[in-house]
Amino acid sequence: MEGAYLPGNIRQRMQELMKEHKITQAQLATRIGSTESAISRFVSGKTDKISTEHLLRIAKVFEVSTDFLLGEVNTPDRTNFDIEELGLSVQAARNLYTGKANAEIVNRLLESPRFAEVTYMIEQYFDDTLAAGFAGQNQMLTTLSAMLRRNNKTDAAAGGRTVNRQKVPYIRQT
C-alpha cells in the first residue's frame, strides 16, 4: 500500500481500505470487537460516532496511521510507533530522540537489505550459537584429522600409497 490517496474523510478511507483489503463490514467488525450494524451505521453516515478505541483498532487492522484514517494525511504509512511495538528499549529510544545515536546512520542500517543478515550474525554471537558452531566445526576437523592420520599410518604399513587406483611405493622423506 504505497503512494498517496486522494483527500478523504474517515468514512471514505474505511471504504477504500475495506475494498482494497477485500474485507467486509462484518469481518472488520469482528476484527475490531464491534458489531456489523455499528460499522454499517458509521460507514453509511447514519451516525458520526466511532470510539477512539475502534479507530485505533481499525488503523492496526489495515496497518495505517490514525492520521491517514482521519484524513489528516494522504499517505497511509504509519510514522509514529510505540517503542514496545518496535521492540526498542526505553534507553534505545531515548538515545535516538536525544541525538546520542545518529538517527541517519540507524536509518541507513535498518534500510540496508543486508542488515537482517548482520543482525542474525550478531544475535548468534550474543547467544553463543556462533561459538557452539565453531566448537562443533573444530571437533569435526579434529576427528577428520585423526582419521586421516590413522589412514596414512595404515597406508604406510601396507608399503605404499594408492594414487589414482595405482599402488605407488611409499617414500619416506627425511
Rounded distance between C-alpha atoms, residue 72 and residue 132, angstroms: 52
Name every residue whose Cβ is closer than 8 Å to that of residue 129 and which is 6 or more positions away in sequence. Answer: 123
What does the pLDDT average to over 148-157? Answer: 70
Give the model's pLDDT for residue 29.
93
Range from 148-152, 159-163, 168-172 that averages highest in pLDDT: 148-152
Query: What is the distance between the alpha carbons of residues 12 and 174, in angstroms, rounded to a whole number?
Result: 90
Q: How far apart are CA 32 and CA 61, in angstroms?
A: 8
160: three-class secondary structure by DSSP: strand
Residue 152 has pLDDT above 90, yes or no: no
Max mean pLDDT among 57-61, 65-69, 80-84, 109-113 falls in 57-61
For the chain, how are helix, strand and coil distributed in percent, rounded to 5? 60, 5, 35
- Cβ neighbours of residue 88 under 8 Å, at least 6 residues apart? none
Per-residue pLDDT tens for 20-50?
999 999 999 999 999 999 999 998 889 888 8
Q: Which of 20, 71, 9 is nearest to 45 (CA)?
A: 9
pTM exceeding the 0.85 threshold for the entire prediction = no
pLDDT value of residue 138: 83
Q: Which grid cell is 19?
A: 475494498
Is the pLDDT at 95 greater than 90? The verdict is no
Least confident of 107-111, 130-134, 137-141, 154-158: 154-158
Place of cell 453509511: 44
Q: Quickly state the pLDDT bin for 61 (edges 50, 70, 90).
A: very high
